[in-house]
Amino acid sequence: MREPDPVALLKDLISVRSPTGEEDEVRAMIEEFLRDHGVPYEVDDFGNVLAGTRGGLLLNAHMDTVPGGEGWRITEPYDPRIVSGRVYGRGAADCKGGLAAALVAVVRAHEEGIPLSLLATVGEESPREEDNGTLHACREGLDAAAAVVCEPTDGHVNVGDRGRVTLEVRITGESAHASKPQEGRNPIEAAADAVEAISSMDTERLEVPGVGEVKSDVTVTGIEAGGPSNVIPHECTLTVDYRTVPGETPEDVRKAVEKEVVKSVDGEYDVEVRVKSASRATVVDTDSFIVKAARRAARAAGLPGGLRFKMGHCDIDYLVHEAGLDAVILGPKGGNIHGPDEWVSVESVRRCAEAYLKCAKIMFPTPVSTGR
């Protein structure tokens, strides 16, 4: 059979809607692709696909995307189009470009007897951790020596990611009629001071060898008081998004935010800060074999291969902390992620397919039996 083209496969994957919770059709397409190329696979009870030869390098890419959305100009979300060396469509960069490259790499590895496997997962874009397919697979147990997450990185090797803590800050005042504001204590006014205090926080920094300084960030992403327009509300609630660096815990973050808010309201209001959700920050040793192998493979495939750190959060968290694997993030170049006219570079998708295979060969130079 003719060697598969990752860009043609990518276009096929984009053409199938797969928002979180609706991955069945794209999974069926992936299963058909694997069967056509004789690659062994299984589907677990969560809906993840695990394919290829286990025990070596594991590639991790998610099948789901965010919804198509509005405002597209170059094409429609599920009508993939190549323009000026870019493939446009929902999921092109996040994460179907990396998924297509990984699938082709696994086919070639199976033909050559290289221990390379793929975990194609559901639920990565869900805000609920319990929906995450990678987390489920890690807790069930993975047979792998190291992993590469195929999220878009512009061809650089990311050695970790920041975590995320979502906080709810509740400020309680005293309700009164809006015509007599002096008789109450307006929590919205206190919240305004709290927003300024939170936005001015001096957050943590971490020096990552070969990368430089990585800094945590905090921002207020929501404010709610409610009630009639002629009444000073009893309380006001802020939603705070805090991006952590390795070493910060949710309780550390909660206490730091609480301290700043309490100070800003000067004891005149009751303050309660609670953690709504949390994910961990991750960093791997830049001297580890997977980091060195991934950089060497990326450069050999024509990708930049520099050391970087991911500012968002991804499934490297679970591969490192739950499965105990050394892992990196390496994927194609793309843009407009989660927005209209999402795109990925044609050339970088092809080069990622090469890089994934080369990385497995560097780590496991002796072919193994694949049962063919």
Chain segment 22-71, per-residue pLDDT in tens: 999 999 999 999 999 999 999 999 999 999 999 999 999 999 999 999 99
The tokens describing 372, both together, are: 């063919």
HEC per residue, 31-91: HHHHHHCCCCEEECCCCCEEEECCCCEEEEEECCECCCCCCCCCCCCCCCEEECCEEECCC
Residue percentage of the chain with pLDDT more than 90: 95
pLDDT at 370: 58
Residues 297 and 312 in one domain: yes
Instruction: Kindly report the three-state secondary structure assignment for every residue of 155-224.
Output: CCEEEEECEEEEEEEEEECECEECCCHHHCECHHHHHHHHHHHHHCCCCCEEEECCCEEEECEEEEEEEE
Domain identity same for 290 and 266 = no
Cα–Cα distance measured from residue 30 to residue 280, given in angstroms and rounded to the nearest whole number: 30
- Are residues 183 and 300 located together in one domain of the fold? no
pLDDT band with cut points at 50, 70 and 90 for residue 372: very low
CATH of the domain at 60: 3.40.630.10
Provide DSSP, 316-338. Answer: HHHHHHTT--EEEE----EESTT
In total, how many domains does the chain have?
2
Q: Let me know whether 347 and 274 are in one domain.
A: no
- The pLDDT value recorded for residue 227 is 86
User: Which of 260, 279, 298 corresponds to the end of one domain?
Assistant: 279
pTM of the model as a whole: 0.93
Maximum distance among all Cα pairs of the chain, rounded to whole angstroms: 83
pLDDT score for 1: 63
> Which amino acid makes up residue 317?
D
Q: From CA 64, how far away is CA 18, in angstroms rounded? A: 5
Kindly state the average pLDDT of the residues 176-181.
93
Q: What is the DSSP string of 215-255?
A: E-EEEEEEEE--S-TTEE-SEEEEEEEEEEPTT--HHHHHH
Which of 225, 248, 279 corresponds to the end of one domain? 279
Q: Can you give the residue range of the structural domain that contains 238?
A: 163-279
For residue 3, what pLDDT is reported? 85
Indicate if 48 and 112 belong to the same structural domain. yes
For position 359, what pLDDT does the model report? 98
Check whether residue 114 and residue 212 sit in a common domain. no
CATH number at residue 193: 3.30.70.360
Name the domain boundary from 234, 262, 279. 279
pLDDT 10s digits, 200-235: 999 999 999 999 999 999 999 999 998 899 999 999
The two three-digit tokens of residue 149, written as one number? 């997450």
Average pLDDT of the residues in 82-109: 98
Residue 175 lies in a domain: yes
In whole angstroms, give the CA distance from residue 11 to residue 5.
Answer: 10
Domain membership flag for residue 214: yes
pLDDT of residue 252 exceeding 50: yes
pLDDT tens sequence across 304-344: 999 999 999 999 999 999 999 999 999 999 999 999 999 99
In a shared domain, residues 15 and 145: yes
Residue 252 and residue 189 in one domain: yes
Place of tokens 């206190």: 190
Tokens (6 digits) for 175 = 């309700």
Is 371 contained in some domain?
no
Q: Does 10 share its domain with 154?
A: yes
pLDDT confidence of 266, banded at 50, 70, 90? confident
Comparing CA positions, the residue from 132, 166, 128, 112 lying closest to residue 47 is 132
CB of 343 within 8 A of CB of 88? yes
- Provide mean pLDDT across the span 248-256: 97
Q: What mean pLDDT do residues 174-199 have?
A: 95
What pLDDT band is residue 369 in, cutting at 50, 70 and 90? low
Average pLDDT score over the chain: 96
The answer on 115 and 233 residing in a single domain is no
Q: What is the mean pLDDT of residues 241-261?
A: 97
The number of beta carbons lying within 10 Å of the beta carbon of residue 111 is: 15
Q: Is 32 among the domain residues?
A: yes
Give the pLDDT band of residue 286 (cuts 50, 70, 90): very high
- Rounded CA gap, 22 and 70, in Å? 19
Residue 90 lies in a domain: yes
* pLDDT over 80 (residue 368): no
The answer to whether the bond into 95 is cis (omega within 30° of 0) is yes
- Strands 157-161, 282-283: pairing is antiparallel
Q: Could you tell me if 20 and 148 lie in one domain?
A: yes
Confidence of residue 366 (pLDDT cuts 50, 70, 90): confident
**CB of 46 within 8 A of CB of 110?**
no
Do both 80 and 197 map to the same domain?
no
